[in-house]
């Protein structure tokens, strides 16, 4: 006679194992959605076939930690720890960074983050490039980047569509590596509030919060890494604007500041000794000058010798204020605060001419020197740091050439277009900025 206990043990071995019905993922339960319906197919109220659970949804599967993943992935450079590999990569010239991003995902993430470029900046190996935004003969906006080390013009992603034909828009640099375009007038939509920026670290365009007011042909500047905008025009308003606003990138928002003393359409502006100077046309087309103090958030008119002799383009560097004194930019004036006059000059003694192609369009600081950028994309550099040691002696040896692109060709073509009466079709520079990465 068979032992009943052994028979029961054998039956238990043949039965499916007990599982929790709430965790059951078998075909029967999944199809009927209820345990009650599964009773017709599986004997017992709480019996179910052990599901074949996929590893990705198993509740007890161990998820690898971040450190485990880092140990399992391939190194940045074979045979080197990542910290040494980064020390090598940050020394690669900036002109090759576009190629480095294409090597692999890890290199792309490294060269798209702030950590990589912060190391370059802290070690003093970051590079400054000149970015030129110009309006071509067909009225379209294009832009170009000049590498002063290799003295080559580097490729850039195209300007976003909303600024491809815009007029009177502003340009500024925040955090040293972000180029902002803001406001302006669209040929179809009119005045804009739109703000976009290009990051030299990611080589891409991004959106930023819109301005509070629509405006074009306004003044703008950067003080303490905040972007200030004032005056200008609005297509729906038949008089110049008095309103002003500021953008703080840390808060990522715009705020209104005090209105200007008088409404103005600025045509020149500069930051000097922590103050923002503006000169422009008033409601009745009269020339007005104002200065803004961020500390007190106040505007007031100014009529001193600095404003009287002030010309465009101009720039401040190391506490000094400079402006160009001739059309081709080959003579530089320096403002003397003691005499309240523009008495000092730095002359190259080699003047290029007064053609529109050779006209100086921008004056920007670059690595402690001043760069003059002309409409034909030629670039001259002046070492103003050594000008104080010269006194009244000739200073032509302070001048140099970074880019002579198209000087002769543009001069000849400009002469022929002048004879043909087609000067209105010429291209010209709208903005010029320096970005660091």
**CA diameter of the chain:** 128
Q: Per DSSP, what are the bridge partners of residue 220?
A: 229
Q: Per DSSP, what are the bridge partners of residue 344?
A: 334
- The distance of Cα 411 from the centroid of its chain, to the nearest Å, equals 32
- Within 10 Å of residue 148's Cβ, how many Cβ atoms? 19
Q: Which string of DSSP letters, residue by residue, matches 118-149?
A: HHHHHTT---EEEEEEEE-TTS-EEEEEEETT
**Domain 72-122, CATH 3.10.129 — does that match?**
no
pTM: 0.79
- Could you tell me if 186 and 160 are in contact, meaning their C-beta atoms sit under 8 angstroms apart? no
Q: What is the pLDDT of residue 418?
A: 40
- Could you tell me if 342 and 333 are in contact, meaning their C-beta atoms sit under 8 angstroms apart? yes
Looking at residue 39, the DSSP 8-state letter turns out to be T
Q: What is the pLDDT of residue 6?
A: 55
3-state secondary structure of 374: strand
- Torsion (CA) 195, 251, 112, 435 in degrees, nearest 10: 60
- Could you tell me if 378 and 361 are in contact, meaning their C-beta atoms sit under 8 angstroms apart? no
- Within 10 Å of residue 311's Cβ, how many Cβ atoms? 13
Which pLDDT tens digits describe the chain residue by residue (437 residues)?
555 555 555 555 554 444 333 333 333 333 333 444 434 434 443 433 333 333 333 444 455 555 555 556 789 999 999 999 999 999 999 999 999 999 999 999 999 889 999 999 999 999 999 999 999 999 999 999 999 999 999 989 999 999 999 999 999 999 999 999 999 999 999 999 999 999 999 899 999 999 999 999 999 999 999 999 999 999 888 899 999 999 999 999 999 999 999 999 999 999 999 999 999 999 999 999 999 999 999 999 999 999 988 989 999 999 999 999 999 999 999 999 999 999 888 999 888 888 899 999 999 999 999 999 999 999 999 999 877 654 554 577 899 998 875 443 444 434 433 433 344 447 899 999 999 99
Angle at 66 between CA 60 and CA 68, to 5 degrees: 80
- Could you tell me if 111 and 100 are in contact, meaning their C-beta atoms sit under 8 angstroms apart? yes
Q: Per DSSP, what are the bridge partners of residue 232?
A: none
Q: What is the pLDDT of residue 45?
A: 39
Q: What share of the chain is helix, strand, coil (3-state, %, to 5)?
A: 20, 35, 45
Distance CA 318, CA 384 (A): 10
Q: How many helices (H) and strands (E) does the chain have?
A: 10, 26
- The distance of Cα 126 from the centroid of its chain, to the nearest Å, equals 16
Q: What is the pLDDT of residue 291?
A: 97
Q: What is the pLDDT of residue 354?
A: 84
Closest CA to 331 of 379, 372, 392: 372
Distance CA 350, CA 404 (A): 14
Distance CA 426, CA 50 (A): 79
Angle at 109 between CA 106 and CA 113, to 5 degrees: 145
**Domain limits, the chain:** 4-57, 72-122
- Could you tell me if 282 and 298 are in contact, meaning their C-beta atoms sit under 8 angstroms apart? no
Distance CA 268, CA 40 (A): 87
- Could you tell me if 378 and 146 are in contact, meaning their C-beta atoms sit under 8 angstroms apart? no
């Amino acid at each position: 006679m068979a032992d009943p206990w052994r028979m029961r043990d054998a039956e238990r071995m043949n039965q499916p194992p007990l599982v929790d019905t709430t965790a059951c993922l078998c075909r029967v339960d999944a199809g009927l959605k209820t345990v009650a319906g599964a009773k017709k197919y599986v004997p017992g109220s709480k019996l179910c076939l052990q599901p074949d659970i996929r590893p990705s949804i198993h509740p007890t599967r161990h998820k690898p930690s971040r450190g485990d993943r880092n140990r399992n992935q391939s190194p940045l450079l074979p045979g080197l720890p990542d910290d040494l590999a980064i020390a090598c990569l940050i020394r690669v010239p900036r002109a090759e960074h576009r190629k480095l991003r294409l090597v692999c995902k890890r290199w792309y993430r490294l060269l798209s983050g702030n950590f990589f470029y912060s190391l370059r900046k802290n070690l003093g190996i970051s590079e400054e490039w000149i970015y030129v935004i110009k309006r071509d003969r067909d009225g379209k906006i294009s832009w170009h980047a000049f590498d002063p080390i290799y003295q080559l013009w580097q490729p850039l992603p195209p300007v976003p569509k909303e600024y491809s034909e815009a007029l009177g828009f502003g340009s500024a640099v925040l955090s040293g590596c972000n180029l902002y375009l803001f406001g302006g007038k669209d040929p179809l939509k009119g005045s804009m509030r739109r703000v976009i920026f290009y990051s030299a670290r990611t080589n891409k365009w991004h959106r930023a919060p819109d301005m509070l007011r629509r405006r074009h042909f306004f003044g703008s500047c950067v003080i303490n890494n905040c972007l200030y905008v004032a005056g200008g025009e609005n297509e729906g308003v038949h008089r110049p604007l008095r309103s002003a606003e500021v953008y703080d990138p840390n808060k990522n928002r715009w705020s209104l500041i005090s209105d200007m003393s008088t409404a103005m359409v600025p045509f020149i502006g500069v930051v000097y000794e922590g103050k923002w100077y503006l000169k422009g046309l008033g409601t009745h087309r009269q020339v007005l000058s104002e200065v803004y103090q961020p500390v007190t958030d106040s505007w007031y008119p100014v009529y001193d010798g600095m404003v009287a002799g002030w010309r465009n383009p101009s720039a401040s560097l190391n506490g000094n204020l400079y402006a160009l004194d001739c059309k081709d930019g080959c003579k530089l004036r320096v403002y003397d605060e003691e005499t309240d006059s523009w008495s000092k000059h730095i002359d190259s003694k080699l003047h290029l001419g007064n053609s529109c192609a050779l006209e100086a369009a921008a004056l920007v600081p670059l690595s402690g020197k001043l760069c003059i950028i002309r409409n034909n994309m030629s670039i001259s550099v002046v070492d103003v740091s050594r000008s104080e040691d010269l006194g009244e002696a000739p200073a032509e040896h302070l001048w140099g050439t970074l880019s002579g692109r198209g000087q002769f060709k543009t001069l000849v073509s400009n002469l022929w277009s002048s004879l043909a009466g087609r000067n209105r079709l010429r291209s010209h520079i709208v903005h010029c900025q320096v970005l660091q990465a």
